[in-house]
A and B are shown apart, each in its own frame.
Chain A
């Protein structure tokens, strides 16, 4: 299939990460020929989202076997040199995956029923304490669950993955051990009988529909009957619903419902990414949800902060005086872009110093520095002001907080740009990369040799930093990205509705670098219901467990789920995945990177996506200073095909002669097609502006005059 590839492109792009994809789309959009490769079998590279099976399989994957270097002597000329692309770097390092819940619970249905039927809180409590006193037959007794999980080998790490492979991608048959562990319960009042049955007939785990029979057993059926229903109905019912008790099996059965981001990101509603999505019309490929709460940590508690003016004024937590002060300060910040001179005097102070001088209450300072500006001790006033400003400008545009989250995960965004690139003729091949770059005498990249051994020439080469030959970049082992992904059974801060929350934890004794916490509910289309995904991100030193352990132990329980459903109860972790990502920097000092090679950054610890946009745009402007960066493409509805010549040709006789050419030999057809695309590109390059004006929605022309594609040959 790959021999079909044309041998010349304007741009070869390695890696389908976010900035690479934006840049690929931008150059394709103005008519350049783009070949976009990714060594992985999925789009988005380090920015990808995975379902549960994929991420666990990922954890098993052994580090790339070092492929032996092929000899490409016949592919290069004497004056050229070969620079090798490193072989398969993995997207993440040392991923470790772990379950905190039992494999399968035969009494699962029972537990659910208990949830449904067992009732008032006192009862719940009884069950709970009962468990503890009661010789450990409890369903979700913490340490026991823990044990189950561990002895099942559900902990998966790259280094020692082999023993555990089996437990990961096939649903695990129920073992006797499990049955014993969990089958007998003391939840007394209800249906012991049912339980025992379930325990022995292992097949119908999770499929039994027991609700009807059991309802009759409970005393509380009336009140709880209604609460029960909610487990299966609308998630945003105001009525308090009972917590779902999960098993490993159930999580794995819902593997497809997960979209787990390697690099979870948000968009400022008025930020660079949103502007780009609008101006390029890539927005049509994506949907979003607003972050519903911005949280902050205050005196060891997690609180919601008021984001909008209305929120501030209706907040009972903030005194009237403080409200005025806050408003005044924010107005001051908001005025920054209008007359930056006025802020000159603060230039040598940090943002926090300026903030302190304003005599705001400690609580307000906390809100401003940690939730709005998200600044550390070292942040300059200018940067702090800018960050405050984009926050303020973004609030109210799409929601009550400044942020948007892409439905189905951040990994959707690079793909949206790839689609645009493809729609404008970009060619995509996954599971293909460059084995080597060919550098000519003038230290310019002349061509690549693909992993299939084909030489393809290019005028420019763009690559994600993980593709870069080592001499072009440096890594700093002290600045890796530490990531932690958790599935939890409830939110960090109780709420009646499904919330999508952002929390920024400033540096402290426990964490040198700030930690960004993103808590995603089912409505973000990233996980099944009755579950949250919590993403933790920080700059770390390669030991993510250590980096996050203070936070995790303070706010979350690693003891497995309990029946206890008090709002004060910590969320229980059901599953965790820890990994790190290398951060590369272009090595300008020590090495002469060829001037037609551009290396783009991988994901950083920033919560937003504005930097990749800026980086892509900067390179674009460097390469094509006079071109528009991703102008709006014509809207399909506005395009009318006119085909005077063709319409007749189609009916005419010339057909017979023509058809022979393309039909029998697909390859022939392809190359022909490639040429055609090329001519088209050429044409397009000359008049990109015009096409755009004629066709955008914004044009004043009545739509029937928006004639765009005239197929004259």
Chain B
């Protein structure tokens, strides 16, 4: 994370969770790789997709979007998945009310497993995906959706379509704005300052002053 010149760089981990087939992978692909497809194979071998944002003249933001991998389709996340996340999207499918019903479950799971360093919940945006299609259930009632979000602790919600590229950038921008606010307040992801923490890396066997081996 070498900051070039004056430019500030931030690296944020964002989780994308929600029921099967709600469009999580599609949203990430659309946002990061600018394409959409209805034939996804499970993305194999990749932890996250990286989106680089030139936020403003002096801020560069790298977003790691962590998709749900095979394991998590049954809702059992490893800690590794949640670790150090600073934001999240919970996605449901507007054409299937059952995916909306699971939203609270996902939000609760999220809040129970990860918090910001100050103990507050990580900012989370609700995405009502596939809005290019006929909607089913509560999502038709904006006031009630707002109420729902307030009650469940979502910072906001968007109707999105990965297919038609609707509102995905907007939702991400909104989330990032909130993360930046939090970051200002509490220096997220700054634990790199802990020099004693060791990250194993083949190229970098660092640590201590003296590289002394016995003999």
B20 x A641 contact (CB < 8 A): no
Q: How far is the CA of A255 from the CA of B207 in the complex (A)?
A: 31
A385-407, CB < 8 A from B = 392-393, 395-400, 404, 407
Given A395-B214, A422-B69, are A676 and B39 also a contact pair (CB < 8 Å)? yes
B98 to chain A, nearest CB (A): 8
In chain A, what residue has the closest Cβ to B22? A666
Interface flag for B29 (CB, 8 Å):
yes
Task: Number of A interface residues at 8 Å Cβ cutoff, please give it.
Answer: 86
Cβ < 8 Å to A, chain B residues 121-176: 130, 133, 163
- Interface pair B37/A309, CB less than 8 Å apart: no
B78 & A425 in contact (Cβ 8 Å cutoff): no
Does B200 lie within 8 Å of A283, measured CB to CB? Answer: yes
Question: Do residues B198 and A711 form an inter-chain contact, with CB atoms below 8 A?
Answer: no
B residues in contact with A639, CB < 8 Å: 46
Question: A419-B81, A423-B45, A633-B45 given as contacts; is B214 within 8 A of A713 (CB)?
Answer: no
- Do residues A647 and B35 form an inter-chain contact, with CB atoms below 8 A? yes
Contacts of B213 in A (CB 8 A): 308-309, 392-393, 395-396
Assess whether B214 is in contact with A676, with CB atoms less than 8 Å apart. Answer: no
B111 at interface, CB cutoff 8 A: no
B1 interface residue, CB < 8 Å from A? Answer: no
Q: Are A634 and B79 in contact (CB under 8 A)?
A: no
Cβ-defined contact, A427 with B20, below 8 A: no
Interface residues of A in 416-431 (CB under 8 A from B): 416, 418-419, 421-430
How many residues belonging to B are interface residues under a CB distance threshold of 8 Å?
Answer: 60
Contacting A422 at CB < 8 Å: which of B38, B78, B206, B210?
B78
With A288-B200, A633-B45, A636-B47 as contacts: A418 and B71 at CB distance below 8 Å: yes
Residues in A with CB closer than 8 Å to B211 are: 396
SS of B interface (majority): loop
The answer to the question of B5 belonging to the interface, with a C-beta cut-off of 8 Å to chain A, is no
A334 touches B71 (CB 8 A): no
Contact between chains at B71 and A646 (CB < 8 Å): no
- Neighbour of B71 across the interface among A311, A426, A662, CB < 8 A: A426
Interface pair B214/A666, CB less than 8 Å apart: no
Please give, as numbers and ranges, the residues of chain A lying within 8 Å of B33 by CB-CB distance: 641, 643
Complex Cα distance, B39 from A679, in Å, reads 13
Q: Are A650 and B35 in contact (CB under 8 A)?
A: yes
Known: A288-B200, A308-B212, A408-B79. A650 touches B37 (CB 8 A): yes
Are B40 and A676 in contact, with the CB atoms below 8 A?
yes
Whether the pair A421, B71 counts as a contact (CB closer than 8 A) is yes
| Most B Cβ at <10 Å: residue of A284, A285, A396, A422 | A422
Tell me the complex Cα distance, A676–B43, Å.
10
Partner of A429, one of B20, B74, B197, B199: B74
Is there contact, CB below 8 Å, between A412 and B80?
A: yes
* A209 touches B (CB below 8 Å): no
Min CB–CB distance A704 → chain B (angstroms): 14
CB–CB B198/A288 < 8 A: yes
Cβ of B48: which chain A residues have Cβ within 8 Å of it?
A: 636
Most chain A C-beta atoms within 10 Å of own C-beta, residue among B33, B78, B197, B198: B78
Contact B42 A676 (CB under 8 A): yes
In the complex, the answer to whether B212 meets A288 with C-beta atoms within 8 Å is no
| A4 CA to B21 CA, complexed, in Å | 13
A288 touches B197 (CB 8 A): yes
Decide if A364 is an interface residue (CB 8 Å cutoff): no
Residues of B within 8 A of A407 (CB): 197
A419→B20 contact, CB < 8 A: no
21 A-B pairs whose Cβ atoms sit less than 8 Å apart in the complex: A278-B201, A289-B198, A290-B198, A309-B213, A310-B212, A331-B215, A392-B213, A392-B215, A396-B212, A396-B213, A398-B200, A400-B208, A424-B44, A428-B71, A430-B74, A430-B76, A636-B50, A650-B38, A677-B41, A691-B45, A709-B46
Residues of A within 8 A of B (CB): 1-2, 4, 36, 43, 274, 277-279, 283-290, 307-312, 327, 330-331, 334, 392-393, 395-400, 404, 407-408, 412, 415-416, 418-419, 421-430, 523, 633-634, 636-637, 639, 641, 643, 646-647, 649-651, 655, 658-659, 662-664, 666, 669-670, 673, 676-677, 679-681, 684, 691, 709, 711, 713
The 7 closest A-B pairs by CB, nearest first: A422-B71, A428-B71, A650-B36, A646-B37, A283-B200, A415-B78, A422-B69
